[in-house]
Amino acid sequence: MEIIKYKNGMDVDALLNRGTTDRRDVEQTVADIIENVRTNGDAALREYALKFDGCVIDNLVVTDGEIENAYNNTDKDFIAVLEQAAENIRQFHSMQKRDGFTLKKENGIVLGQKITPIEKVGLYVPGGTASYPSSVLMNAIPAVIAGVNEIVMVTPPDKNGNIRSDILAAAKVAGVNKIIKSGGAQSIAALAYGTESVPKVDKIVGPGNIFVATAKRQVFGKVNIDMIAGPSEILVVAEPTANPKFVAADLLSQAEHDKLAAAILITTDESFAKAVSAEVDRQVKLLPRYEIALYSVENYGKAFIVNDMDEAIALANEVAPEHLELAVENPFELLEKVKNAGSVFLGKNVPEALGDYFAGPNHTLPTGKTARFSSALSVDDYIKKTQFIYYPEEELEKAKNKIALFAEREGLSGHARSVTTRFEEE
């Protein structure tokens, strides 16, 4: 890890080297895939399954029998963990459920807001270098709580045309309605436009690679999306009394995700930073995903030395990380000063992995500094808020001249007339 003595005014973005890459080739490739799926439906999905996944798919829809077999053949200890994690996620996200409201005034005016679940949601679950049943739980359970009528999950098949049993078991536990054997940009296109086998949905959620993220960006407007997820990030603010071994392990927990993942340490003590860096060098060799993690820490691993904890939190707010660990004695004192972070982990014994899998808060989080203006996935992502207005005739008459004045000031006489004409003599 590179150790940097932080000074006010430093270009932190440049130091973190988190710039975007040229995506023009990806954009065109994805556009072509989307058009092919929009035009040719299931046939295009089968074509891409053969091309990208190396398998022949006859039935794109996972059958109930396949799901039951996967669930029954999955290790019972893991099923128990899935069930407990799901219950924790339900408990946390149930607190987010909101009701509409009605404001009734004495003069008979009624104003309000009603909450309606989104009808159909598409859930993307990554495949490839890793399998993420945790993503199934985190994305599907809030949708179920919100009352979404149909949850359609898409995920890449293996070379035998099957979906991993852990993924199918998690889908059953979470309450997914339909599972499609398709991944990549082509599955996003299928969810946006619909095919013979894939229902057209209203919103698409879930993380994926650059092709998936680009496809979500391109279909936005045709459907809604949750966010454009970038490479994972972790930032640990640590006091010198923290254990370097633990801090290094937490940094590597994100570095192993992706070569472009960022692992950042902020501390007040250079000797502590060097100790953490040495631990990172030692522990990275122990990981099965060694090459990925090593590339990440060598290129995007940074340790910043600051003067005090106020400066540490100010720098953390500037970075606006996806995951923020406060490995300090009194984390709740610092929490009040945190403005920009996807999820915050409080104390020296609260690793980010606790949030990824088990605690209950969502692990689908804003990346790439978007925590400055966006939030973790929640029940709110699966609802619509519709306003309503009722005015008795006499109250509209009292307000008509004020409304007309406002409309005329905007040059919209038709708006004004739509009110005043109701009170003109025949």
**Residues labelled as active-site residues:** 322-323
- Cβ burial of 176 (10 Å; 0-12, 13-18, 19+) is buried
206 Cβ partners below 8 Å, 6+ apart?
Answer: 122, 123, 124, 125, 126, 135, 139, 226, 364
Query: From the CB of residue 5, how many other CB atoms can be counted at a distance below 10 Å?
Result: 12
Cα–Cα distance measured from residue 62 to residue 34, given in angstroms and rounded to the nearest whole number: 22
What tokens appear for 259 in the block? 């070569």
Query: From the CB of residue 386, how many other CB atoms can be counted at a distance below 10 Å?
Result: 11
207 Cβ partners below 8 Å, 6+ apart?
Answer: 124, 126, 135, 229, 364
* Bridging pattern class, strands 101-104 and 2-5: unpaired
Three-class SS string for 322-385?
A: CEEEEECCCHHHHHCCCCCCCEEEECCCCCHHHHHHCCCCCCCCCCCCHHHCCCCCCHHHHEEE
Which residues face 264 on adjacent strands? 235, 302
Angle at 386 between CA 154 and CA 88, to 5 degrees: 50
Helices (H), 165-306: 165-174, 184-193, 210-219, 244-255, 270-284, 290-300
Tracing tokens 């979404």 back to the chain, one arrives at 148
Give the residue from 231, 195, 201, 240 showing the smallest Cα distance to 213: 231
The separation between the first and the last C-alpha atoms of the chain, rounded to the nearest angstrom, is 82
Cα–Cα distance measured from residue 402 to residue 405, given in angstroms and rounded to the nearest whole number: 5
